[in-house]
Amino acid sequence: MSNTKIPNAVDTVNAIRNEASQAYRDAVPVATPRNIQDVGNPILEYQSVQNEFLTALVNKIAVTIVDQKMFENPLAFLRKGSIPLGLDVEDIYINPAKSANYEPANFQGILTPVDPDVKAAYYRRNRRDKYKVTIRNEQLTAAFVSWGALENLIAGIVNSLYTGNTIDEFNLTKSLLGGATAEAKMVQEVLALPTTSAENATAFLTRLRGIASAMSFPSSDYNAYQLVGGTSPATSWTSMDDMVILVRADVAANVDVQKLSAAFNLSYADYVARQVIVDKFDGADNMYAWIGDRGAFQIRDSLRKMTEFYNSEVMAWTYWWHCWDTFALRPWANGVSFVTEKYMA
């Protein structure tokens, strides 16, 4: 959880007024800490003003306002940005070129083409979710009793729409790894759970360090390209700066972080910056850790859109927050799952 600073209700109402129509500005005065009723009366009395206020309010809180505890996705840094148009993303990787013997008498060699060893992956948009919240007339009326009540209304909308999406993004990111592991489409390292004994914890630290070191060299041993159907190996490597470690919470609580940082020859702060603690790996109960390249995650949003509808029958506004995304793993990027029992295809 994080204390996200969202401007207070007075600032929010004034920000809405600054961008509103002239008719709205004529009806609604500038908000101050002491004139909540003067601001609220025209909003509650005139339907057109009310519609403009609520539409702007929900759009404003996308960027938002009020001291409110909101869930912060610890894996959000793995997202890659937006896909402006289209359903698919094409991802291309070219294997390192192979050497050939120098032959001074081979004058025909210059005419012999050598095609690059190209690997391709296609990521299709696979998430189209929406989040819905309804604000009733009586809720709005009650909110204009005080600025604190209005802030509570705004906070409720924020939590309902945006936090719902943030939690789902976190779970979907974990399920990328858990799902791939459970389907045997991820390199797996079978080791006893580190929480069961000091010896097992030491074994985990040793193997984690060994894999991290090995990943820094060109190899096809630590990516899943052939596990997902590739016909020939893909050679990849991962620098320490690009390495990410995800550890289940129960394991992180029982394995000394100081020892983990020492295992990687990193300062405590540098190691913690690379480690993310998660509650579980959705879809893979036997999985307790993952180490790999941050570039393995191909997570991109293609749509973020707020829509609204006013139902005059019941005097209620309904808002939908639409979230469309692509969630995928790059098949030639390094990644190893630590499991207590190997998953088979």
Comparing 2-6, 18-22, 118-122, 178-182, the range with the smallest average pLDDT is 2-6
Same domain as 293, residue 258: yes
Same domain as 223, residue 166: no
Q: Is residue 66 scored above 60 in pLDDT?
A: no
Residue 125 belongs to a domain: no
Same domain as 273, residue 204: yes
Same domain as 70, residue 165: yes
Of residues 187 and 272, the one with the higher pLDDT is 187
The CATH number linked to 239 is 3.30.2320
Tell me the percentage of the chain whose pLDDT exceeds 70.
92
State the pTM of this model: 0.82
Same domain as 230, residue 294: yes
Residue 160 belongs to a domain: yes
Pairing of strands 2-4, 68-70: antiparallel
Pairing of strands 118-124, 243-248: unpaired
Same domain as 157, residue 42: yes
Residue 267 belongs to a domain: yes
Take residue 149 and report the two structure tokens written for it.
Answer: 């009540």
Confidence of residue 271 (pLDDT cuts 50, 70, 90): confident
Same domain as 188, residue 335: yes
Cβ proximity of 271 and 243 under 8 Å: no
Same domain as 288, residue 196: yes
Domain count, the chain: 2
Q: Is residue 180 scored above 70 in pLDDT?
A: yes
Same domain as 207, residue 160: no
- The C-alpha atoms of residue 78 and residue 290 are separated, in whole angstroms, by 14
Tell me the percentage of the chain whose pLDDT exceeds 90.
49
Q: Is residue 62 scored above 60 in pLDDT?
A: no
- The C-alpha atoms of residue 245 and residue 210 are separated, in whole angstroms, by 13
Of residues 46 and 110, the one with the higher pLDDT is 46
Same domain as 194, residue 169: no
The letter for the amino acid at 110 is I
Same domain as 8, residue 154: yes
Q: Phi, psi (5° rounding) for residue 44?
A: -80, -25
Residue 64 belongs to a domain: yes
Same domain as 276, residue 134: no
Q: Which residues constitute the domain of residue 237?
A: 181-300+329-339
